[in-house]
Structures are given as C-alpha cells and as structure tokens.
Amino acid sequence: MVNTDTSYNPKVSVVIASYNYAGYICHAIDSVLNQTFDDFEIVIVNDGSTDNTQRIIQPYLSDERITYIYQENAGQANAKNNGIKNSSGEFIAFLDADDLWKKTKLEKQIPLFSNKNVGVVYSRSRFVDQQGNNVEYKVESKYLLPKSGEVTKALFFDNFVPFSSSVVRRECFEEHGCFDESIMMGIDWDLWLRLSMCYRFEFISEQLLLYRVGHSGQMSKNLEERQKCSDKIMQKFYESNPGLLPLSTIRHAWAYTYSNRGYYYSHLDSHRSSEYYLLSIQKWPLQFAAYKGLIKNFFCSI
C-alpha cells in the first residue's frame, strides 16, 4: 500500500527496510511514532519477508503517516532505495527494523541542518541485546570515534557513522545517487564516503540510537562477506577519485584494515592472523599493532 496523497509533505521521511524481523519491527515503528519531533512520515519496505511481518504491522497501516511497500526479496540496498524513491521529506532518516530510537532523536538532530553545507547528521549509539538489555561495548579504535566536519580521510579508515542514527538531506541523493545495489554489505559506508566529498557531517554526542546485537539473521555477523565488500568499497573509492587522498593515507588505511583482521583471526586461525599482520606491515611499516600481534602469535604457537 503506497500513500498517494501528494499534499502531505513532511519534514522528515523515516525509511524502515525489513527482512524477516517480525519480532522487532513493532519496537522500531513505535520508537518513531513516539518521537517528540512529529513532522514525519514512515516508509516501510518489506523486502520479501517469509515470516509474519505483514500481519504484525497491519494495525499500523491505518495511520496516514505510514506508507507500506511489499516487494520480492531484492536485498537491503534495493529495499532502502525503494524507500527513498517513495518518500517525500526534505530529510531522510534510516532505521533498521531491529533497532530503535530514543524519543528526542529527531528533535535534536534536525536543527543541525540549518547549516546548508551539512548533508548527514548522526548520533552515538547504545548496544542492547534481543530483550533490549544494555550490552557493554567499548570502542577500542580511535577511527571509530565520531567526527564532524570534512570527514573523508577519517571515513576511509573506518565507518564511524551508526547507520540507524543517520539523517540525510534529500539533496544528497538527488545529486550523488543512492545506495550501490552491487554491494551486499557496507552500503552505508560506501554512501558516506561519496557524500563526504561534498558535504559536512555533524553528530549529536548522545546515545540516541539503541542498536540491537547478537540475534540470528543479523547481517553484520557474516564476516567473510563483509571483508570482501570492505575491500571493494575502499578500492572503488580511491580508484574513482584519483588524487583525492594521499598515497600515504591509502596505505595506512589498508594497514589498519589488515591489522584488525589479524587481531580477529588470532583467536581462530593463528596462521591466517599472521598473514594479515604481515600484509599490514607491508602497507605501513609503522603499524605497531601488527608487530605486537605477530609476536603474540609466535609465543602462543610455541
């Protein structure tokens, strides 16, 4: 069911794309409906769910602010792009169906767009489990700390923008395109990199997003595919924008990426871990974390 009332032009369109998240999507929708900022519409895209998502959200569809779209399964990028296409707000906010917002989120974010150079506003996030209980999580990497302003160089190292916390100026999509449907994972990182070349990023230093972790079906758990997509995103970005980033930055970012993989595999496969650490050092000989990892792997193998 698509809302065809063209007279309704909300300030914010909230796009919720969902695949088999019937157990969580009501919490996501409620967290939007309970916002203190109320000039919004919700565009729900059911990406071919095989669970009872459609039945679960049926009671919400009497609300004129909600547009519901069912499509055959086409992947998260396609579903989100379909949501954008069927939205009408000046700003587009994204919320994955298993996450939820604090009630003041939009109220605190939208004023930052008064600066016309700002294209993306995001916030910090708090991790919760399946039942909504807090999960302790400490950010170890300086590259994952939130940053504002011109962030292209920092973003090339890692994606520090929690997707479900993001609000994007519609103009960004009109000028620079939507999500890349050839990428299975990391589609937001790819988008942020493209937008960062032309717009400022700002953030609210509050945990306005509750990010749910640890449940079955969560796409971010597929590490091998995520690594392939990460490599593709990085390579595509610097090859499409020659000269934008110094070669030293590109090499340092690859070293950081390989060192992270070395750390991850140190608990699973020490040989593979050491291979990544060596790749890291080849890219950036001053990547000291890689040396430490190699030494630890050596002594653990004795």
CATH fold of the domain at 12-223: Spore Coat Polysaccharide Biosynthesis Protein SpsA; Chain A (3.90.550)
What strand order describes the sheet that includes 200-212? 66-71, 40-47, 12-18, 91-94, 167-169, 118-128, 200-212, 100-101
pLDDT band at 301 (very low <50, low <70, confident <90, very high): confident
Tokens 């030293």: give the residue: 248
Summarised one tens digit per residue, pLDDT across range 227-273 is: 999 999 999 999 999 999 999 999 999 999 999 999 999 999 999 99
DSSP state of 243: T
Question: Taking Cα atoms as reference points, which of 117, 99, 290, 105 lies closest to residue 201?
Answer: 117
Taking the C-alpha atoms of residue 27 and residue 56, their distance in angstroms, rounded to an integer, is 11
Predicted TM-score (pTM) of the model is 0.93
Question: Taking Cα atoms as reference points, which of 154, 238, 148 lies closest to residue 201?
Answer: 148
Using a 10 angstrom Cβ sphere, with 0-12 exposed, 13-18 middle and 19 or more buried, the burial of residue 226 is: middle
**Which residues are CB-contacts of 41 (< 8 A; sequence separation ≥ 6)?**
3, 8, 10, 12, 13, 14, 65, 66, 67, 87, 88, 89
Tokens 């998502």: give the residue: 53
DSSP state of 164: G
Q: What is the dihedral of CA 206, 211, 214, 216, to 10 degrees?
A: 180
**Which residues are CB-contacts of 92 (< 8 A; sequence separation ≥ 6)?**
12, 13, 14, 15, 84, 167, 168, 170, 173
pLDDT band at 136 (very low <50, low <70, confident <90, very high): confident
Taking the C-alpha atoms of residue 302 and residue 295, their distance in angstroms, rounded to an integer, is 11
pLDDT of residue 221: 58
Summarised one tens digit per residue, pLDDT across range 208-218 is: 999 998 765 55
Residues of each domain in the chain carrying CATH 3.90.550.10: 12-223
Angle between helices 270-283 and 288-301 (to 10 degrees): 150
Q: Which residues pair with 12 in a beta bridge?
A: 40, 91
DSSP 125-144: EEEE-TTS-B-------GGG
Taking the C-alpha atoms of residue 153 and residue 164, their distance in angstroms, rounded to an integer, is 22
Average confidence (pLDDT) over 194-198:
98
pLDDT of residue 158: 97
